[in-house]
Amino acid sequence: MPNEAGESHAHRVLVVDDERGVQESLRMLLKQECDVATAAGIDAALDAIDVQTPDLILLDLLMPGRNGLELLKELEERGMRIPVIVLTATKAVATAVEAMKRGAADYVTKPFEPEALRLKVRALLAHGALEEEVVRLRAEVSGRQQVGGMIGRSPVMQDIFRAVERVAPSRASVLISGESGTGKELAARAIHQLSPRSEGPYVAVNCGAIPHNLIESELFGHERGAFTDAVAQRIGRFERAAGGTLLLDEIGELDPNVQVKLLRVLQERRIERVGSSVPIDIDVRIIAATNRNLTEDVETGRFRADLFYRINVVPIRMPALRERREDIRLIAERYLTRTAEESGRRGTFAPATLNAMETYAWPGNVRELENAIEHGLALCENELIELGDLPEDIARSSLTDSLRDDWRAGRVGFEDTVARFERDLLREALERSEWNQTRAAADLGITRRVLKLKMDKFAVAEGEDAKERTPRAR
């Protein structure tokens, strides 16, 4: 519904109150952030809801005729989960409590503090919008969990699946970017497999791993005698990939000289072997991958802009694992099954292990996850992979979460929680510095004297069992 200025807001709030003055003041208060509709009683409110479902209801409890609580009952019967803020006179707080029991989200006493009410409205609207988004995303996820070996059920991975499928049939150059271990190589393979060239060769070359003086002959080949060590003719990767796909991995590492040559090859679609001037036509689909920010490299002149545009025809950005935590469990379970089959060991994840894996930051992304699982499977006893079986970083990072969980659940008080956390940081800094207190203090940004005081206070000493720190001693 448009407001007075004629604009329409994303959210709609229904004010149910018999007093016109209250209706008007609430409208004035909220009109900047939402559309406000009003109803003077329960029946009018139900009519308004039938016309257009509001995102939030502000409900006066004491109205002549039907009581406000009846609207809550009605909503419940209709299965409508609209959040309701109850408005109540200061003296009638008991009724507000009753309303909360019947499903109201919050209450405000009259006369209300405008800012406090606005904040409550905002919070509930934001929460509702989030819930809606979750529902939408769930529906959007079509249930596909795997395309060309890439596993994922998150919306971002669904986007990747679609991008890969869309680009595969063409010969367009693709630039896959993303942090280390996010599956760039896997995506490149998937594109090849889903392309009409899948019967042809798939050749990958790691531009970062080949010495600068050899990369040219590696890519384009050389004739015998082209340079001192060229004792025989060599066929380069471009020629070997003929009819198929060539992955230029870590393309950001290419030497400027080679960047120029590569650009020419891509433009002319022909190569010359080193030491030869005979051009050879090539029919190769190029995929490039990088974990660098090539746009930045172009700006700083480290990477040629013209080559960048040539390879960046279709960009695909692989999301970091922490951007798609919904996929962690799925990938972990699949990988565990596979690794268990291969290694002949068996194991399942303890709930705490899965929790830790789902909250950890995974700087090494899927590769790190795979390593963690192998680590856990190798160390676990009784076929149960516990938190302590995972590599130290992961077990440790989950400590703050478990501290917070204990605190939330009321098992540990504020002071103790903070103390445990402090103690853990002290231990970590000391272990890192091999118990050199000067270095540990510098690391923590405190003086050595304060460090000593804290070590005494928290009884942190070398050689003490680490049990307190990680859920299971190693």
Q: Does position 180 bind ligand ATP by CB under 6 A? A: yes
Residue nearest ligand ATP by beta-carbon distance:
183
Q: Which of 55, 370, 389, 424 binds ligand ATP (CB under 6 A)?
A: 370
Q: Which of residues 283-302 bind ligand ATP (CB under 6 A)?
A: 291
Query: How remote is the C-alpha of 221 from its chain's centroid?
Result: 42
Q: Does position 438 bind ligand ATP by CB under 6 A? A: no
Q: Which of 150, 164, 387, 444 binds ligand ATP (CB under 6 A)?
A: 150
Q: Are 60 and 87 in contact (CB under 8 A)?
A: yes
Q: CB under 5 to 8 A by kind: which of Mg ion, ligand ATP, none does 152 bind?
A: ligand ATP
Distance CA 47, CA 50 (A): 5
Distance CA 6, CA 4 (A): 5
Q: CB under 5 to 8 A by kind: which of ligand ATP, Mg ion, none does 419 bind?
A: none
Q: Does position 151 bind ligand ATP by CB under 6 A? A: yes
Q: Which of 54, 68, 83, 178 binds ligand ATP (CB under 6 A)?
A: 178
Of 185 and 443, CB closest to Mg ion:
185
Q: How far is the CB of 286 from Mg ion (least distance, A)?
A: 16
Q: How far is the CB of 365 from Mg ion (least distance, A)?
A: 11
Of 16 and 289, CB closest to ligand ATP:
289
State the binding string over 77-116 for Mg ion (x if CB under 5 A, else -).
----------------------------------------
Residue 51 class from Cβ within 10 Å (0-12 exposed, 13-18 middle, 19+ buried)?
exposed
DSSP-assigned beta bridge partners for residue 204: 247
Q: Are 289 and 247 in contact (CB under 8 A)?
A: yes
Distances (CA, A) of 210 to 59, 174, 398: 70, 22, 39
Q: How far is the CB of 178 from ligand ATP (least distance, A)?
A: 6
- For the chain, the first-to-last Cα distance in angstroms comes to 62
Q: Does position 43 bind Mg ion by CB under 5 A? A: no
Of the ranges 161-169, 173-181, 408-416, 444-452, which one interacts with ligand ATP (CB under 6 A)? 173-181
Of 114 and 363, CB closest to ligand ATP:
363
Of the ranges 38-46, 181-189, 235-243, 363-371, which one interacts with Mg ion (CB under 5 A)? 181-189
Pairing, β 384-385 against β 348-349: parallel
Q: Does position 447 bind ligand ATP by CB under 6 A? A: no
Q: Does position 316 bind ligand ATP by CB under 6 A? A: no
Around Cβ 457, how many Cβ atoms within 10 Å? 12
- Taken in order 291, 294, 296, 298, the sign of the CA dihedral is positive
Q: Does position 181 bind ligand ATP by CB under 6 A? A: yes
Q: How far is the CB of 383 from Mg ion (least distance, A)?
A: 32
Q: How far is the CB of 187 from ligand ATP (least distance, A)?
A: 7
Distance CA 181, CA 320 (A): 8
Q: Are 324 and 152 in contact (CB under 8 A)?
A: yes
Of 321 and 444, CB closest to Mg ion:
321
Q: Does position 319 bind ligand ATP by CB under 6 A? A: no
Q: CB under 5 to 8 A by kind: which of Mg ion, ligand ATP, none does 367 bind?
A: ligand ATP
State the binding string over 182-211 for Mg ion (x if CB under 5 A, else -).
---x--------------------------
Binding site for Mg ion (CB under 5 A): 185
What residue ranges bind ligand ATP (CB under 6 A)?
150-152, 178, 180-186, 291, 331, 366-367, 370
